[in-house]
């Protein structure tokens, strides 16, 4: 399977502290890649580098290259607005804007210049359907998004991300703030989404990685220790550190 994102010798520093060391990884298209590792191992930092959300943090320095469909995302002629339209993001805590459900989903398309009501209506409905939340909210699209439950808010945020029709969806521990029922709904949704999207998901939950992902990358202290098919990583890890981690010896 072809890769949609390839990372070459990438390092990242927060000031003097090196958070990511010489990463090389190829993210396969239309599949789910899970990033696992103990807290502080750099997996979230790595995720946020893929759509350049780290630009917002002062003092971050990056070397090496990340290619998205062959284009270096750090090149000067890449507009980060376009990059983030291609590579969408869902955050750890549901963060709908304090506006109506409709306006939340329409925010992205409007940002990218779509203003026709008919077209917006269509996009909003499709995104909400794809995020498996349409039936629950279709009668209250004009209601404030902060009024729905946490699990619904997270699916709304997924819908919001889908509405700009990205090719890649980055998810930073999307279920860590949710109850088990909402978590399982979102996991089902993620598996459904891989038909159309490439998904990279950070998770602390080993079972979740096994349940949903096709590929797994194990990070430790800013290094990529092992990357491969999820089944292989969990059944016959090549590296001793991976084995220790997935068997729960540290983390």
Partner 1 sequence: MLNQPLSKKRKRYELLLKALMLLATGLTAALVLFLLLYTILKGIPNITWELLSTSPSYLEERIGILPDILNTIYIVIATLIIVLPLGVGAAIYLTEYAANKKIVSIIEYAAEILSGIPSIIYGLVGMLLFSNSMGTCLMAGALTLVIMNLPTIMRTTQESLKTVPQSYREGAFGLGAGKWRVVRTVVLPGCLDGVITGCILSIGRILGESAALLFTAGFAHAVNGIIEGLAAPGATLSVALYVYAKEQGEFGVAFAIAAILMVLTVAINFATTFVQKFFAARRS
Nearer to partner 1, 161 or 200 (CB): 161
Nearer to partner 1, 18 or 95 (CB): 95
Nearest to 34, CA basis, from 231, 178, 184, 222: 231
Strands (E) in the chain, as ranges, are 3-14, 17-28, 32-36, 60-68, 71-72, 87-90, 168-172, 198-202, 215-220, 223-229
Minimal distance, residue 97 CB to partner 1, in Å? 6
How many whole angstroms separate alpha carbon 171 and alpha carbon 243? 25
Question: Residue holding tokens 């306006």?
Answer: 103
In the list 3, 6, 65, 95, the residue contacting partner 1 (rule: CB under 8 A) is 95
Quick one: which of 43, 160, 185, 194 contacts partner 1 (CB under 8 A)?
A: 160
| Contact call for residues 216 and 240 (beta carbons, < 8 A) | no
Given 37, 42, 108, 237, the residue binding partner 1 (CB under 8 A): 108
The yes or no reply on residue 157 touching partner 1 (CB under 8 A) is: yes
Check residue 168 for interaction with partner 1 (CB under 8 A): no
Binder among 13, 14, 67, 107 for partner 1 (CB under 8 A): 107
Q: Is 97 in the site for partner 1 (CB under 8 A)?
A: yes
Task: Give the chain's radius of gyration (CA, Å).
Answer: 18
For residues 64-93, which are near partner 1 according to CB under 8 A? Answer: 80-85, 88-89, 91, 93
178 binds partner 1 (CB under 8 A): no
Dihedral pair phi/psi, residue 120, rounded to 5°? -60, -45
What is the size of the binding site for partner 1 (CB under 8 A)? 27
Closest to 177 (Cα-Cα) out of 93, 97, 95: 93
By C-beta, is 161 or 224 nearer to partner 1?
161
Q: Measure the CA–CA gap between 1 and 30, rounded to whole angstroms.
A: 9
- Written as six digits, the tokens of 69 are 């469909």
Minimum Å distance from CB 166 to partner 1?
Answer: 9
Q: Which is nearer to partner 1, 54 or 213 (CB)?
A: 54
* Shortest Å distance, C-beta 157 to partner 1: 7
Question: Residue 197's Cα: distance from chain center in Å?
Answer: 11
CB crowding 11-25: b at 16 or more within 10 Å, else e: ebeeeeeebbeebeb
For partner 1, the closer CB: 4 or 87: 87
Binding residue for partner 1, selected from 31, 49, 51, 153, defined by CB under 8 A: 51
Please report how many Cα atoms fall inside a 13 Å half-sphere around the Cα of residue 35, on the Cβ side: 29
Among 2, 75, 76, 98, binds partner 1 (CB under 8 A): 98
Is residue 53 involved in binding partner 1 (CB under 8 A)?
yes
DSSP 196: T
Interface with partner 1 by CB under 8 A: which residues? Answer: 51, 53, 56, 58, 80-85, 88-89, 91, 93, 95-99, 107-108, 111-112, 157, 160-161, 164
């Amino acid at each position: 399977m072809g890769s949609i994102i390839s990372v070459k010798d990438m390092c990242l520093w927060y000031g003097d502290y090196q958070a990511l060391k010489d990463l090389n990884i190829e993210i396969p298209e239309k599949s789910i890649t899970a990033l696992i590792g103990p807290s502080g191992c750099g997996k979230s930092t790595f995720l946020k580098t893929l759509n350049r959300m780290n630009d917002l943090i002062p003092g971050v320095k990056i070397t090496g290259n990340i290619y998205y469909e062959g284009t270096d995302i750090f090149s000067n002629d890449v507009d980060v607005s376009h990059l983030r339209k291609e590579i969408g993001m869902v955050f750890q805590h549901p963060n709908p804007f304090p506006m109506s459900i409709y306006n939340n989903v329409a925010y992205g398309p409007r940002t990218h210049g779509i203003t026709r009501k008919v077209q917006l209506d269509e996009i909003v409905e499709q995104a909400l359907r794809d995020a498996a939340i349409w039936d629950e909210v279709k009668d209250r699209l004009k209601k404030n998004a902060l009024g729905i439950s946490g699990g619904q808010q997270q699916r709304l945020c997924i819908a919001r991300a889908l509405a700009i029709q990205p090719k890649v969806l980055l998810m930073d521990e999307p279920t860590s703030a949710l109850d088990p029922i909402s978590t399982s709904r979102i996991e089902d949704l993620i598996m459904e989404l891989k038909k159309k999207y490439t998904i990279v998901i950070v998770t602390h939950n080993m079972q979740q990685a096994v349940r949903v992902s096709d590929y797994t990358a194990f990070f430790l202290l800013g290094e990529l220790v092992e990357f491969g098919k999820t089944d292989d990583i969990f059944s016959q890890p090549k590296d001793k550190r991976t084995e220790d981690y997935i068997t729960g010896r540290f983390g």
